[in-house]
Amino acid sequence: MLIRRPSDILPSEINSESEFNARRDWLKQAAGLGLIAGLPALAACDAQAQGAKLMGVKPNASYAMPAGEKLNKFDELKGYCNYYEFGTDKTDPPVMAKSLKTRPWTISVEGEVLKPQVFDIDALYKLAPLEERIYRFRCVEAWSMVIPWVGFPLSELIKQVQPKGNAKYVEFVTLADKAQMPGLRSGVLDWPYTEGLRMDEAMHPLTLLTLGAFGEMLPNQNGAPVRMIVPWKYGFKGGKSIVKIRFVEKEPRTAWVKAGPGEYGFYSNVNPTVDHARWSQASERRLGEFSKRKTLMYNGYGDQVASMYAGMDLAKFF
């Protein structure tokens, strides 16, 4: 039997039961061979195996707690979800996504790039340093949260594949597996769930390829094993459980634009002055709070992103 040292085991592997058992086996054998000197090492390894903690995550000081905010609870993130592949009620995905298989998992990065590549999810954890970033998260349905996400800028991945000059947009394709996702039987969206960004948006330092939250690997219902978080846009721009990233020349037609072109636009920047066809976007309910608060232009990230939309009619390009 191949004995792997715990230090060879990726943080992302801790979640899988076989790796957990392999680790236990190693510990037992190593202890038997006298490779482990004292108990502290054992205890430390055990602690790593619990709760699927992500190792080596560094808080990025540039994206610490926004002024006047406080974190939502992990249970609020895990318990109130939009993930239509697992049902349309907020409380469906926490139950229905339990069985989502997140290993093995690959992301194919393709299209107008010089170096198309298929990344194994476990290689992705090592592609760039894992950062914790506290972002406001605003759903188009006018509720919001403040979440400590873990990931790295999507630009790190984009650099690896070297987009060609004609790559103007990036399309994200997420998992659509009928065997695992009961929601696919409903016609509410044209599956797979797809999303997209303009190239400058995709390269923007705020745009986070997200692998975790609250120091842990992403819960299944929140888009394990990898999703997008684009904090100045409505939450639906952040596709969950991504399997393909495609670089294209033309603006991709996203799942929500196809479902309701009058209600959802490609840009979907958070904008309190441009209402949804059926409700106001001027205010929002922060999960856990009683009264509503005003929605901030670009969700409070205007200083960093407004220049990308200079001169654009934001009511037309909503």
Q: Which residues bind Mo ion (CB under 5 A)?
A: 82, 139-140, 235-236
Binding mask 74-113 for ligand MTE (x = CB under 6 A): ---x---xxxxx----------------------------
10 Å CB burial of residue 7 (0-12, 13-18, 19+) is exposed
- Closer to ligand MTE by CB, 112 or 284: give it: 284
Binding mask 50-79 for ligand MTE (x = CB under 6 A): ---------------------------x--
Q: Is position 222 an interface residue for ligand MTE (rule: CB under 6 A)?
A: yes
Distance between CA atoms of 115 and 136, rounded to whole angstroms?
A: 34
Distance between CA atoms of 302 and 296, rounded to whole angstroms?
A: 9
Distance between CA atoms of 75 and 100, rounded to whole angstroms?
A: 19
End-to-end CA distance of the chain: 57
- Closer to ligand MTE by CB, 240 or 246: give it: 240
How far is Cα of residue 58 from the mean position of the Cα atoms in its chain?
A: 17
Least Cα distance to 186 among 292, 259, 264, 290 occurs for: 259
Closest residue to Mo ion in the complex (CB): 139
- Closer to ligand MTE by CB, 15 or 241: give it: 241
Minimum CB–partner distance for residue 266 and ligand MTE (Å): 15
Q: Which helix (H) or strand (E) holds 161?
A: helix 154-161
24-30: which pairs have CB atoms within 8 A and are 24 or more residues apart? 24/49, 25/1, 29/3, 30/3
CA-based angle 75:151:146, to the nearest 5?
40
Minimum CB–partner distance for residue 256 and Mo ion (Å): 9
- Closer to ligand MTE by CB, 163 or 241: give it: 241
Report the site for ligand MTE in 164-203 (rule: CB under 6 A): 174, 193
Residue 281 contacts which entry, Mo ion, ligand MTE, none (Cβ below 5-8 A, type-dependent) = none
Q: Is position 151 an interface residue for ligand MTE (rule: CB under 6 A)?
A: no
Minimum CB–partner distance for residue 167 and Mo ion (Å): 27
Distance between CA atoms of 240 and 232, rounded to whole angstroms?
A: 17
- In whole angstroms, how far apart are CA 259 and each of 28, 190, 234, 269, 279? 54, 7, 16, 18, 17
Minimum CB–partner distance for residue 214 and ligand MTE (Å): 12
Question: Which of 235, 252, 265, 300 is the binder for ligand MTE (CB under 6 A)?
Answer: 235
Question: Which of 27, 45, 107, 139 is the binder for ligand MTE (CB under 6 A)?
Answer: 139
Provide the binding-site residues for ligand MTE, judged by CB under 6 A: 77, 81-85, 139, 174, 193, 222-223, 235-236, 238-241
